[in-house]
Amino acid sequence: MACTTDVFKNMFLFLLVVAVASRPATGKIFDVRKYGAKGDGKTDNANAFIKAWEDACARSGRNRIYIPRKEFYMSDVEFKGPCKGKTVFFNNGRLLAPVHAKHIKQDAWINFQYIDYLVVTGHGTIDGSRSWSSSNFDMKRRLPANIAFDFVRKSRISGLISLNSKSEHLNFFCVDHFNISHVNLTAPGNSPNTDGIKIGMSSNVKIRDSHIGSGDDCIAILSGNTNFDIRNITCGPGHGISVGSLGKHKEEKNVENVRVRDTVFTGTSNGIRFKTWESPVAEITVSGFLYENIKMVDVQHPVNMEQKYCPYPPCPKLGDSHVQIRNVTLKNIWGTSRNKVAVNLQCSRSFPCKDIQLININLTHNGSDGPATALCENARGSARGKMFPPSCLN
């Protein structure tokens, strides 16, 4: 498993941090201006920010990097741990990214790595500076995320605004015990690959009380994730909350135990979505999902399981997907579907979906070509309560 070597390293660090944290600690403020940062929107402040980070990170107790209410331009930065204490990245400013992706050498403009007890907060904005309106969609290289968190544990983000990312807003890899709340991630609906939250190989993640409107998935749940609790999200525009895409790479891991509750999708292309490629290489299980109290407002495909995912046809047909989808409950799902097929359950012929439970569904078709319908292919399970469109499960 990709996180293992670091899990060991972090276990040692955890013991160290516990020892340190039990000392009486007073907070210390590291104002980026003291490190030469200039809030003029032009000076490259990357070095000043990194120096402030290094000092804060090297000190035990609670340490706060403080960014005042000004515009700070900076090229790419890496904020690396392990840190001795708890580090708070408190941003009241507007951080501006380089306009051109070629001036960002990493996968993300701002990258937090190997940190425990990190807090990212403040009333400020992270501005990816991508002018999507200019519509020169040069997709030749992978564009950088606004912020990436790799191997960050026992941490949280609250109160972050992220605008016009070049690629995804927030990328998470191998994070554990991470809370995300009160974030607003915004990019235009036609901006390609601007996922709100893209996350893989992570566990014990809570995403709450947030608005995500973007040009790709609001939340993309990738391989190797377990124990997610997602609640009170408004998503739109965007492609919905997606599991996947999965099934393309041999080394993929199971995705287990995900709850999504009290969420509204408005004008999105998808709502509840699973996507796996038509390929047998990854033999994994996707199971233990509960979607509860979900409202769809004019959503193209409110419920969409696609085990022949092929966004840019033609795709090579390598064989049925070997991703087993099992134990998925959809409870209290209502609203309007732009497409006549409001519930689409197209599962793998070799690994049919099992234990799909539909409880109280009321999705109406907003269109003139008749009432909403459900479509099942290799999908097994049961339905109870109000059921519109009528269930096609067997």
Binding interface with ligand NAG (CB under 6 A) = 154-156, 161, 177, 179, 184, 186, 206, 209-211, 232, 257, 288-290, 297-298, 327, 336, 362, 364, 366, 386
Using the minimum distance from each CB to ligand NAG, give the nearer residue, 200 or 381.
Answer: 381
Shortest distance in whole angstroms from residue 166 CB to ligand NAG: 17
Of 319 and 371, nearer to ligand NAG (C-beta) is 371
Peptide bond into 389 cis (omega under 30): yes
* Encoded amino acid at 105, one letter: K
Q: How far is the CB of 56 from ligand NAG (least distance, A)?
A: 18
User: Quick one: 298 exposed, middle or buried, by C-beta within 10 A (0-12, 13-18, 19+)?
Assistant: middle
Beta carbon of residue 266, minimum distance to ligand NAG (angstroms, whole number):
9
The nearer residue to ligand NAG, 149 or 277, going by C-beta atoms, is 149
Residue number with CB closer to ligand NAG (47 or 366):
366
Residue (144 or 288) nearer to ligand NAG, CB = 288
**Least distance to ligand NAG from the beta carbon of 47, Å?**
29
C-alpha to C-alpha distance for 377 and 394, rounded to whole angstroms: 10
> Which residue number places its CB atom closest to ligand NAG?
298
To ligand NAG, the closest distance from the beta carbon of 280 in angstroms equals: 24
| Smallest separation, CB 336 to ligand NAG (Å) | 4
211, 239, 322, 365: the catalytic one is 239
Residues contacting 27, CB < 8 A, separation 6+: 61, 62, 63, 64, 88
- With beta carbons less than 8 A apart as the criterion, state whether 152 and 13 touch: no
Question: In which residue are the tokens 């009241």 written?
Answer: 92
Told to judge if 301 belongs to the known catalytic residues of this protein, a careful annotator would answer no
Cite the beta strand spans of 106-240 per DSSP E: 108-116, 118-121, 125-127, 145-163, 170-173, 176-186, 197-200, 203-213, 219-221, 226-235
**290 φ, ψ (degrees, to nearest 5):** -130, 120
- Between 57 and 235, name the residue whose CB sits nearer to ligand NAG: 235
* 48, 55 Cβ separation under 8 angstroms: no
Nearest to 291 by CA among 309, 277, 278, 305: 305
Report the alpha-carbon distance of residue 348 to residue 328 in Å, rounded.
15
Q: Indicate the helix (H) or strand (E) that contains 19.
A: helix 4-21
Give catalytic residue positions.
239
